[in-house]
Chains A and B, each alone.
Chain A
Amino acid sequence: MEILDYVVIGSGCTGAMAAQTLVESGVHVTLLDAGADESKYSSIIPDKDYLSIRETEQEQHRYLIGDKGEGIAWGGIKTGEHLTPARKHILKWVENLLPIESNTFFPMESLAYGGLGCAWGLGCCQFSDVELNAVGLNKFDMQNAYNIVANRIGICGAQDDASPYTIGELKDFQSAPAMDRNHRLLYQNYQKKQKTFAKNGFYMGRPGLALLTQAQDNRKAYAYKDMDFYSDNDESAYRPWITINRLKKENNFQYINGLLILKFKEQTDHIDIHALEIETNTIKIFHCKKLILAPGVLGSARIVLRSFEEQHKTLPILTNAYSYIPCLQPAMFGKEAEKNKLGFAQLSIFHNENGNNMDVAMGSIYSYQSLMLFRIIKEAPLNFADARIIMRYLMSGILIMGLHHPETKSATKYVELIHDANSITGDKLKINYVLDDIEKNKISAREKKFKSHLRALGAYAIKSINPGSGSSIHYAGSLPMETSGNLFTTLPNGKLAGTKNVFIADGSGFNYLPAKSLTWSLMANAHLTALNSLKNE
């Protein structure tokens, strides 16, 4: 029986960071993963900018809308609807292997090589000291971890009004990418009204992004091709598979894919890991000394609930309330398309409501171009032919704000693993996520404030689109961090309570979910958890 040293589950942002920390420390690491990959479209996307592709490429329909039209979403607005054909592999196998029953929660999970990190919007924010405290993380450890992760993935940003909420105290960062005309105008208007905004607790500036604006480690500088929703050709945008691809070259790392991890069982001197081989539908058992779970919050919940075999156990769950708000900036109407553009957020706006850096809400602002006209035309209450004429004038003035709200636990937000004879794994996650009236009112009031402040900058909200709880793709809190040592909790060092050698490296331990972009903090925590797993405590 071969006993592996360290096994990491999942190749997403947290799994990649935990694995890198372990590999760099010199121990032997095996990463077990489903690893759904994409090659059909990524190989045919030319290395050109979006407008040149649109004007010249005969095959563009294949990767813009898909061979079978799979990129054309019709019907109600759903989580993940914006995924383009080249990103659809993120959802491969999910419906069959990760079944969910819920009419109040609509999450996105991934079994892809690189996990949800393949579609990450790259937003990077440091949590404030009070937020870290509420989450359950140590601010000194996290500050150091933020720097280490930033060095690994490459972060760009700027020192401006928003930097206390974005790059925070990070010293080593690349310059922010150039803004397009739409954002430049909005930002100029903000600078004129800075004082009034500050008085109301609103701050705008450049977001921190896991994007290289200067070449680094064989990754190219961002080239403003505006193909960010389709391709990672230059590797300027950080994706977790970049880390895994590098680790594969190390002698003390091995990657095994095609597996869905079901559960673990701790024996006296090792841990058994039960995995389903996806292709053959057979069970495989691996053995290891230490296990680091990083399959994402819902994935960890499934694995831990199966492993502890406690009937009818419910676990808490957190997700940021999220809506996106299309806005029109009339001063930009009738401007021609810009060739050099950026698909990621170009401005962030924060609302520090109470002035204490707690419960800060965050809006990320994007231009609308490369997702094409057809995705928004169906929202217009006009016939498509006339809507097309109008939208061509309005398109350059469209801004989309994605608005995240902070989130706390409550008894009406929980997950439970229930029996399901039709599921390959024999079970499914039942999720209940209900906000009370106070929470709903707070969200609605905050949304109104954001809209009125955008209006003051000359950007008028058309509507709010709320795809439902879970659509923020930020999840946390199912195995809360505490010192009690109770089952189904995480100890402050990341160890799963009730086990000797199982650690949780994803956001399952977070007791509070700030509205800020989460992934940098998740990766920093994964790094710390991996370090803790190296200690014999």
Chain B
Amino acid sequence: MNDFSLRQEAQVYGKYFLHKLPNEQTIEIYAQTNPHKTSSASSNDQKIIHFALHHPWSIGFLDAAQALVKSDSELRKRLYFMFAILESRPEYCSLFLPTKRNWLYLFFIFYSGARSVFKAFFGILLLKIITRHGNS
């Protein structure tokens, strides 16, 4: 069902976090660590991943929804692997280390939290549609 290679998958997930393509080394590490190897993805999981890879705009919504309703899903697992890999790359480490606050920091915290909740609502609807209607 999944016609994406590990490397293509790495590009999609990397872009979700970075808003740009991750570098070649990051893609290579994702392929090496291969989160699929311990997978027992259900057919619903496969449908969701298939949709996410073909519609990268949906990843934030699906991730937010599954954080609430199925936090151990296969999509979240693969995103989690990419998160850990990006965190262990010196090029991206500044995105993961503690950041100094400015006077707007509370606004950023609440805005990001509220955005995730909003995404979750839309994502739950999307999950229902995907799991009912199958491929893309």
Contact indicator per residue, chain B 76-99, by CB within 8 Å of chain A (1) or not (0) = 110111011101111001111111
Instruction: Assess whether A411 is interfacial by the CB under 8 Å rule.
Output: no
Minimum CB–CB distance for B65 against chain A, Å: 8
Partner of A383, one of B32, B60, B85: B60
Q: Which of A64, A65, A69 contacts B34 (CB 8 A)?
A: A69
Q: A67-B32, A74-B35, A387-B67 are in contact. List 17 more A-B contacts (CB 8 A).
A: A58-B25, A64-B87, A69-B33, A71-B84, A74-B72, A75-B72, A335-B100, A373-B87, A374-B83, A378-B76, A380-B67, A382-B64, A385-B16, A386-B116, A389-B108, A392-B95, A393-B98
Residues 19-64 (chain B) with a chain A CB within 8 angstroms: 25, 29, 32-35, 38, 60, 63-64
Given contacts A72-B33, A337-B97, contact A385 B63 (CB under 8 A): yes
From residue B124, how far is it (CB to closest CB) to chain A in Å? 12
Smallest CB separation, B40 vs chain A (Å):
11
Counted as pairs of residues, one from A and one from B, with CB atoms less than 8 Å apart, the total is 146
Complex contacts, A369 vs chain B, CB 8 Å: 98
* A60, B89: Cα distance in complex, Å: 7
Q: Which residue of A has the minimal Cβ distance to B100?
A: A336
Q: Does the CB pair A374–B80 fall under 8 Å?
A: yes
Interface residues of A in 12-70 (CB under 8 A from B): 51, 54-58, 60-61, 64-69
B80 interface neighbour in A71, A333, A384, Cβ under 8 Å: A384
B63 touches A381 (CB 8 A): no
Judge whether A372 is part of the interface by a CB distance below 8 angstroms: yes
Whether the pair B64, A372 counts as a contact (CB closer than 8 A) is no
The CA of A390 and the CA of B16, in the complex, are separated in Å by 16
A396 at the interface (CB under 8 A from B): yes
Q: Are A389 and B96 in contact (CB under 8 A)?
A: no
Contact (Cβ within 8 A) A65 B85: yes
The smallest beta-carbon distance between B115 and chain A, in angstroms, is: 6
- 29 A-B pairs within 8 Å (CB atoms) are namely A54-B93, A58-B90, A60-B88, A60-B90, A61-B29, A67-B32, A67-B33, A72-B81, A334-B101, A334-B102, A335-B98, A337-B97, A372-B87, A372-B96, A374-B84, A381-B71, A384-B17, A384-B67, A384-B79, A385-B16, A387-B67, A388-B95, A388-B96, A392-B97, A392-B99, A393-B98, A393-B99, A395-B97, A395-B98
A380 to B25, CA, bound (A): 28
A377 within 8 A of B: yes
* A385 with B17, Cβ < 8 A, contacts A65-B84, A65-B88, A334-B105 known: yes
Cβ-defined partner of A336 (8 Å) among B68, B77, B98, B113: B98
Determine if B7 is an interface residue (Cβ-Cβ < 8 Å).
no
How many chain A residues have a CB neighbour from B under 8 Å?
46
User: Which residues of A are found within 8 Å of B8, using beta-carbon distances?
Assistant: none
B112 interfacial by beta-carbon distance below 8 Å: yes
Size of B's binding interface in residues, CB under 8 A: 47
Give the residues in chain B near A390, CB-CB below 8 Å.
108-109, 112-113
A182 → chain B closest CB, angstroms: 11
With contacts A334-B101, A372-B84 taken as known, whether A65 is within 8 angstroms of B116 at the C-beta atoms is no
Q: Mark A375-414, 1 if CB is under 8 A from B, else 0.
A: 0011011111111111011111000000000000000000
Bound complex: CA of A395 vs CA of B17, how far in Å? 19
Specify which chain B residues have a CB less than 8 angstroms from the CB of A61 in the assembled complex: 29, 85, 88-89
User: Measured between alpha carbons, how far is A384 from B16 in the docked complex, in Å?
Assistant: 10
Residues of A within 8 A of B97 (CB): 51, 54, 337, 392, 395
Q: In the complex, which residues of chain B have a beta carbon less than 8 angstroms from the beta carbon of A71?
A: 84
Tell me which residues from 228 to 255 in chain A have a Cβ below 8 Å from any Cβ of chain B: none
Contact B84 A383, beta carbon cutoff 8 Å: no
Q: A373-B96, A388-B95, A393-B109 are in contact. Are A65 and B101 (CB under 8 A)?
A: no
In the bound complex, what is the Cα–Cα distance between A25 and B112 (angstroms)? 65
Q: How far is the CA of A76 from the CA of B72 in the complex (A)?
A: 8
- Residue of A55, A65, A374, A377 with most partner-chain B CB within 10 A: A374
Shortest A442–chain B CB gap in Å is 31
Q: Which residues of B contact A76 (CB under 8 A)?
A: 72
Say whether B112 contacts A389, CB under 8 Å: yes
For B68, list chain A residues within 8 Å (CB). Answer: 381
- Per the bound structure, the CA–CA distance linking A69 and B29 in Å amounts to 9
Q: Check if B32 sits within 8 Å of A336, measured CB to CB.
A: no
Distance, CA A377 to CA B38, complexed state (A): 20
Residues from chain B with a CB closer than 8 A to the CB of A60 are 88-90
Q: Given A65-B85, A72-B81, are A388 and B17 also a contact pair (CB < 8 Å)?
A: yes
